[in-house]
Structure 1
Amino acid sequence: MAAQTDDSKYFVREIEKNDGCVLRMKQCYMGDVGCVVWDAAIVLAKYLETKQFYEPSTGVNMWCGRTVVELGAGTGVVGLMAATLGAQVIVTDLEDLQTLLSANIQENQPLIKSGSISAKVLKWFVALFNIAMKYVVHKLHICYTLTLFLFLPRGEDVSELLPHPHYILMADCIYYEQSISPLVETLKQLSGPETSIICCYEQRTEGVNPEVERRFFELLQQDFTCEKIPSDKQDPEFSSPDIHILHIQRKH
Structure 2
Amino acid sequence: MQGPTMALVPYNKNNDVLSIFNQPEREFNFAGQKLKISQDWNKLGVAAVVWDAAIVLCEYLEAGNVDLDKKKVIELGAGSGIVGIVSTLLGAHTTITDLEKAIPYLTEVVNTNLPKRVEGQFTVQALDWRENLESHTKTYDVILGADIIYIEETFPDLLRTIEHLSDENTLVYISCRIRYTRDSNFLQMLSEVFDLKKVHVDRSRDIIIYKGKKKTKDL
TM-superposed deviation, 1:52: 3.0
Q: In the alignment, which residue of structure 2 is the partner of 1:198?
A: 173
* Aligned: 1:179 with 2:154: yes
1:14-63 deviation line (CA, Å, top 9, x unaligned): 111253x211111114122111111101100111111334xxxxxxxx32
Change (3 A) 1:89 1:13: same
Q: CA deviation at 1:112?
A: 5.1
Residue in 1 aligned with 2:103? 98
Q: In structure 1, what is the equivalent of residue 127 of structure 2?
A: 122
Q: Hey, which of these two has a bigger chunk of helix by percent?
A: 1
Name the counterpart of 1:77. Answer: 82
8 Å CA contact 2:37–2:80 kept in 1: the answer is yes
Structure 2 distance, partners of 1:29, 1:201, is: 20
Cα offsets for 1:180-202 (capped at 9, x unmatched)? 11111111111111100000001
Helix, strand or coil at the partner of 1:13: strand
Aligned to 1:243: 207
- Structure 2 counterpart of 1:89: 94
Q: Which residue of 2 aligns with 1:168?
A: 143
Aligned residue among 166, 183, 187 for 1:213 = 183
The Cα offsets for residues 46-101 of structure 1, whole Å up to 9 and x where unpaired, read as: 11111334xxxxxxxx3221110100000100000000111110111111110111
Q: Counterpart of 2:63?
A: 50
Q: Is the 8 A contact 1:10 1:29 kept in 2?
A: no
User: How far apart are the structure 2 equivalents of 1:250 and 1:80?
Assistant: 25
Contact map agreement 2:25 2:36 (CA 8 A) in 1: yes
Counterparts of 1:100 and 1:52, CA distance in 2: 29
Please report how far the alpha carbon of residue 217 of structure 1 lies from its aligned counterpart in structure 2 after TM superposition: 2.1
Question: Is the alpha carbon distance of 1:201 and 1:23 closer, same or farther for their aligned partners in structure 2, counting shifts above 3 Å?
Answer: same
Amino acid at match of 1:125: R
TM-score normalised by the chain length of structure 2: 0.82
Distance 2:104 2:55 in 1: 21
Residue in 1 that maps onto 2:37: 25
User: Offset at 1:161?
Assistant: 2.8
Shift of residue 115 of structure 1?
A: 7.0
What is the aligned length?
Answer: 194
Larger C-alpha radius of gyration, 1 or 2?
1
Unaligned runs of 5+ in 2: 1-21
SS at match of 1:168: strand
AA at the equivalent of 2:40: C
Larger displacement relative to structure 2 (101-110 or 192-201): 101-110
Q: Write the distance in 1 (CA, Å) between the matches of 2:119 and 2:127.
A: 25
Structure 1: where are the runs of 5+ without partners? 1-8, 54-61, 127-156, 232-237
Q: Secondary structure at the match of 1:65?
A: coil
Q: For the residues of structure 2 that align with 1:239 and 1:159, how far apart are their CA atoms?
A: 39
